[in-house]
Structure 1
Amino acid sequence: LKRNLRIRESETTSLKNDLARLRRESDRKDQQISGFEQKLKSASTGKKNEMLRHLHDLERNERKLQHETTHLGNQLMQARDNIQAKDRLLQELQGNINQLNFKNEQLQKESQRLSASKNSVDIQPIPREKAVILPKERGRRLGVFVDIRSLWQASRLLQRKVDFEKLLDFIVLDRHLVKAVAYVLTAPESDYSRFIGMLEQKGFQVRVRPLTRFADGSIAGGWSAGLAADVIFLSGKMNLDIVHLVVGDADFSDLLKLVKSKSLRAEASGFAVNAASELSEAADDFLSLGDDVLRSPLPAEDQANS
């Protein structure tokens, strides 16, 4: 985004230079017109006609330059709008990063406090508001975090829809599912209520964030920072033993390494068509998703209607 911002700023500077050049050119043409008008007063009839033709040509050129100047001005305003929109997005991302850093610091302080309490014989640990852990759940408490955009991309490439109930069953197996969170990006012109309701019915907590649309028609947005913040916060609050990410981007490999550094088991899963190889390298275990979590393909006629 910063690189795009610098490109936009460079384009804005170029447009300003072009606008100044056109204005200088217009001023020069105005001076030429004034000179021709003075010569026209003292010239003969033949010369007057010739100079009139030149004058008309200059006027046409001047109108053309004015049109180009207006067009460049509009482009300059559009570039400024895009820069402002990207500035707002950068501020939002910076806020998410600051929130993530704050939660990470809290987690590190709590970890240090627990270590000090464990090593001390006389000091009793301070009670914490955490979920009650049954003996049969120890070592098996699982949290699943699903990036819906990655599944949507794979679904489009495979021309198959994901069965989210099968997806959870495929991941959970005989372990204890504590939390399942789905991260959804929405476009303002679409209705996601049925899809979100279906996810909630399957047992997911759904977090929704709208996409940002810029003046040039491009869109941006993502859940990377928010998903990472949830993983760090919920893994401590809910005493998770296992964190499982259903993602595709290589950026999440750093989050998997961070989870492992907290002495938790870090798992990931994704479809081969869009899952980065860095995920399998960073995770303790990587599950390759396939037909086991996909709906049966529709007949050709039904698929066309769908």
Structure 2
Amino acid sequence: MKNQSSITIVLLMNLSEVHATISVLFIFFLLIYLMTVFSNFLIILLVVICAHLHTPMYFFLGNLAFLDMSYSSVTAPSMLFHLITKHWFMSLSECKAQMFFVMYFAGSEVLLLASMSYDRYVAVCRPLHYSQLMSWGICAQMAFFVWSIAFLVAITHMICLRRLTFCGPNRIQNFFCDLPHLFQISCTDTTINVLVLLIVGGVLASAAFVATFYPYVRIFRAVLRIRTSDGKSKAFSTCTSHLTVVIMYYASVAFIYLVPDTSNLLTLNRVVTVIYTLITPLLNPLIYSLRSKDLKAALQRALNIHRLHPDTPTRR
């Protein structure tokens, strides 16, 4: 083991070798990234400046928008750089740093989606106690828990990664660095690292999965007991946006990490990975914007204020 030289460069998956295709992909992914940043930043801005959006639901939505914007910014600019320069490689230290933030933001999002499920459960099943169960103090504690646990999980894997030596082959089958891909290029026994990943990741994923979907079992039961169709429709309308985002998120993650990475499914796996890392962060704000009357009203009000007073800053 000591005679093997450590690698310092990691070769990434080339999305295309055709010049015309590269140009199209660069323009397409650049537009997707810019739209992602703009739409998520717009949601954060509306949640901050609009007083009627100062509720737990939109507090968590603002956190989700920040996570989507951050996650996309970890992977998209790097991919765009590799596309335009045709240099599909990065240093090992950059690869590890990217992996840390990918795990941090992905872990934060899965826990945040669980927190948002609890918020929807309280809103539908415990409406009379909503202000008590979802006070600003409790919301702040839940957000702190989400960010802290995700950080501890990511830093745990980074610490365990220090024991590994990377000596090649230095090619990974992805356009960004993720923990399983680093295991594949390690020449050190990764048994301990894989065990930590299975235990920590398994516990986190299982707990988040149950905490995300179990509230909807209670919600569906409560909705079925509502006698009027208008009441059922109103109750479901408060949950459809979040449930759509949750299903889309878990479906992508399940395909990427649970489906075997065989040659027959390699192309499909690449497509799903692109959707998960680039398209989903854009779709999340669009889904909420199209389904939320409050968000559309806030955007319309902000636009009207700007038209009436173009030289005056918007006030809350």
TM-score range, shorter chain: under 0.3
- Higher share of residues assigned strand: 1
Structure whose CA Rg is larger: 1
Calculate the TM-score normalised by the size of structure 1. 0.20
Calculate the TM-score normalised by the size of structure 2. 0.20
